[in-house]
Amino acid sequence: MFLSWLPENVSSFGRDIDGIIALIWYVTLAWFVATMGTLLVFIVRYRRRPGRPAGYVKGDRWREAVWVLVPCVLVLVLDFWMDFKGAPVWAKVKIDVPQSDLHIKVTGKQFNWVVSYPGPDGTFDTADDKTFLDELHIPAGKPVRLTLGAQDVIHSFFLPNLRVKQDVLPGRAIPAWIDAMKPGTYELPCAALCGMGHSGMKATLVVHAAADWDTWVAAQWSGAKQ
């Protein structure tokens, strides 16, 4: 009921995130059925009937309290299980940024995403830098390093199909990374209220197949190469 609503995932770590979401879904679904089921059964089973008085159950003895305490222990165990499963995923996406020979800067401003490439020389702030508005191009199948920032207010860099989200702040450069397994175009909305143009602030992520990527790069920097 929940999981099938996720948009198609195309990133390598997206599978892990979906795995965590699925894990939580099944655990919470079980709890939902158990608690709501018990609630409904009790409501029906113990509804008022003439001549049947209520029991005087106060739950103040251990023998009774275990009925609620044991499920609590189970909650705790399952909680920790979810967190232990989640920790490496979090680290993979947010902490251990892998090396890559492609480094892109994405900067939010009211109300666009500014995307800059270092160009063939691989360093920013040189003459062969190239900047695109609301278009992010990457090659398929390999990690890409990002440096995320903002010019004015807080925006949020969100790639639903890659399961990535990162708020971007003015005055701060946040390292991040993405990869995409499947060529295609994907939506890149801003996920943080950033002013009157927030609604509709979005860019397009274009994932190029390997061969296609070289031609795209060549086309962009053809002038600079000569």
Partner 1 sequence: MSHAATLPRVHEPHEAAGFFRTYLYATDHKTIAKQYLLLGLLMAVVGGFLSYAMRWQLAWPDTEVPGFGFVGPETYNALVTNHGTVMVFFVAMPILLGSFGNFLIPLMIGARDMAFPRLNALSFWLLALGSAVLCASFVVPGGAASAGWTGYPPLSAKAEYTGVHWGLTLWLLAHAIEFAAFLLGGVNFLTTIVTMRAPGLTVGRLPLLIWQLATASILFLLSVGPLIAGAVMLLMDRLVGTGFFLPERGGEPLLWQHLFWFFGHPEVYVVLLPALGASLEVYPVFARKPIFGYRLIVWATIVAGALSFIVWAHHMFVSGMDPRLAMPFSITTILISVPFALAVFTMIASLYRGSIALELPMLWALAFLAMFITGGLTGIFLGSAPSDIYLNGTYFVVAHFHYTLISAVIFGGFAGIYYWFPKMFGRMLGTRLGQLHFWSTLAFFNLTFFPLHWIGIAGMVRRIANPLQYDLVAPHQWINVFSTVSLLGLIAGQAVFFLNFFLSQFRGRPAPANPWQATTLEWTAPSPPPHGNWGAALPAVERGPYEYSVPGAAQDWLPQRAGAAVLGSRS
# of chain residues touching Cu ion (CB under 5 A): 5
Question: Mask 95-124, x = binds Cu ion (CB under 5 A)?
Answer: ------------------------------
Taking the complex as a whole, the smallest distance from the CB of residue 5 to partner 1 amounts, in Å, to 4
Q: In the set 198, 202, 212, 216, which binds Cu ion (CB under 5 A)?
A: 198
* Half-sphere exposure for 210 (CA within 13 Å, toward CB): 4
Q: Which stretch binds Cu ion (CB under 5 A): 68-76, 122-130, 173-181, 200-208?
A: 200-208
With CB cut-offs between 5 and 8 Å by kind, which of partner 1, Cu ion, none does residue 63 bind?
none
Taking the complex as a whole, the smallest distance from the CB of residue 123 to Cu ion amounts, in Å, to 30
Q: How far apart are CA 148 and CA 155, in angstroms?
A: 10
Taking the complex as a whole, the smallest distance from the CB of residue 21 to Cu ion amounts, in Å, to 19
Buried b (16+ CB within 10 A) or exposed e, 169-204: beeeebebbbbbeebeebebbbbbebeeebeebebe
Taking the complex as a whole, the smallest distance from the CB of residue 150 to partner 1 amounts, in Å, to 9
Q: In the set 146, 159, 194, 206, which binds Cu ion (CB under 5 A)?
A: 194
Token pair recorded at residue 19: 């795995």
The residue among 93 and 203 lying less far from Cu ion, judged by its C-beta, is 203
With CB cut-offs between 5 and 8 Å by kind, which of partner 1, Cu ion, none does residue 117 bind?
none
| Exposed/middle/buried for residue 78 (C-beta within 10 Å: 0-12, 13-18, 19+) | middle
Token pair recorded at residue 89: 């995923």
